[in-house]
């Protein structure tokens, strides 16, 4: 298990650094296997990245026709709802790209458990897995909330503890409360996880992720440690300063 790596940048540079990392991961996977699988997150931090990747100069950087786009989590809302992670990614990025393989979490489903099981079935079918197989994403893009949650794995919730499913129904403290989320075992099967964190409000959680005190329960984001993969934390200066983290990049 490789140690997570943290790099600090001015907030304005974060989208470009992240875009290079996304393009590098996806190109490498397509060169090796002819296909790449990436899971996206929602929230506000990835928005500038999605906009950048949709620009003409970045369009050719990623072999999008060979990329399967999935989601790390979704709110239980329709795809055209302003809180939809799919809706946000489609409007800023996917609607501008020649992507042919989009696998949406159906947040609008009346039965979230059924939607979670349906996504599991789709993961197993597309990845060619047996009933106990776990998908290995080439890249999972994650954010972190000020409470240390990631995807829709919130501290102290049942979804965080799920180990025998690929997708779980999560509960968020803030609305929309009902979420669908990849589980920790799937996140920890990834080849590469890219955390994008910006803003001083994330400082306390970031400090706890990188310097958890003995006996302190690890935050969900700190539990993302792929067994055969790597984690890169791209953090802006405000979050790093608020967390008391300094350059040079720190590995845990």
Residues at the interface with ligand 6PG (CB under 6 A): 41-45, 72-73, 85, 143-145, 149-152
CA 238, CA 118: separation in Å to the nearest integer? Answer: 40
Output the smallest distance, CB 212 to ligand 6PG, in A.
19
The distance of closest approach from Cβ of residue 12 to ligand 6PG in the complex, given in angstroms and rounded to an integer, is 16
DSSP string, 70-108: EESEEESS-TTSTT-HHHHHHHHTGGGS---EE----TT
Half-sphere exposure of residue 129: CA atoms within 13 angstroms, side-chain side: 16
Residue 158: count of CB within 10 angstroms of its CB = 11
Q: How far is the CB of 215 from ligand 6PG (least distance, A)?
A: 26
Which residue, 45 or 66, has its beta carbon nearer to ligand 6PG?
45
Give the span between the Cα atoms of 64 and 38, in whole angstroms. 11
Non-local CB neighbours of 20 within 8 Å, separated by 6+ positions: none
For the CB of residue 75, give the shortest distance to ligand 6PG in the complex, in Å. Answer: 6
- Pick 150 or 183: Cβ nearer ligand 6PG: 150
Q: Which is nearer to ligand 6PG, 173 or 244 (CB)?
A: 173
> Closest distance between ligand 6PG and the C-beta of residue 147, in Å?
9
Nearer to ligand 6PG, 42 or 203 (CB): 42
In whole angstroms, how close is the CB of 86 to ligand 6PG at the nearest point? Answer: 10
Comparing C-alpha atoms, which of 51, 137, 131, 140 is closest to residue 97?
Answer: 51
Q: Find the helix or strand (DSSP H, E) in which 250 lies.
A: strand 250-251
Question: Helix/strand/coil (H, E, C) string of 159-188?
Answer: HHHCCCCCEEEEECCCCCCEEEEECHHHHC
Min CB(108)–ligand 6PG separation in Å: 15
State which residue, 66 or 84, has the beta carbon closest to ligand 6PG: 84
Nearer to ligand 6PG, 30 or 37 (CB): 37
Nearer to ligand 6PG, 97 or 159 (CB): 159
Whole-angstrom distance, CA of residue 212 vs CA of residue 191? 25
Contact between residue 54 and residue 92 where contact means Cβ atoms under 8 Å apart: yes
């Amino acid at each position: 298990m490789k140690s997570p790596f943290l790099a600090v940048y001015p907030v304005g540079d974060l989208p470009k650094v992240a875009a290079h990392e996304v393009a590098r991961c996806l190109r490498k996977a397509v060169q090796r296997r002819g296909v790449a699988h990436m899971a996206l997150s929602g929230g506000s931090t990835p928005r500038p990245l999605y906009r950048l990747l949709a620009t003409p100069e970045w369009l050719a950087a990623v072999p999008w026709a060979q990329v399967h786009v999935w989601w790390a989590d979704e709110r239980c809302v329709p795809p055209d709802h302003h809180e939809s992670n799919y809706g946000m990614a489609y409007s800023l990025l996917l609607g501008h790209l020649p992507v042919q393989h989009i696998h949406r979490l159906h947040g609008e489903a009346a039965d979230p458990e059924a939607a979670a099981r349906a996504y599991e079935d789709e993961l197993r079918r597309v990845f060619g897995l047996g009933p106990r197989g776990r998908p290995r994403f080439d890249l999972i893009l994650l954010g972190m909330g000020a409470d240390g949650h990631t995807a829709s794995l919130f501290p102290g919730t049942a979804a965080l503890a799920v180990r025998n499913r690929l997708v779980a129904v999560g509960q968020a403290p803030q609305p929309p409360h009902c979420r669908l989320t990849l589980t920790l075992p799937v996140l920890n099967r990834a080849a590469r996880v890219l955390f994008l964190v910006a803003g001083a409000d994330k400082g306390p959680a970031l400090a706890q992720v990188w310097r958890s005190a003995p006996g302190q329960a690890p935050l969900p984001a700190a539990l993302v440690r792929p067994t055969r993969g790597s984690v890169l934390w791209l953090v802006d200066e405000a979050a790093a300063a608020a967390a008391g983290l300094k350059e040079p990049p720190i590995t845990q």
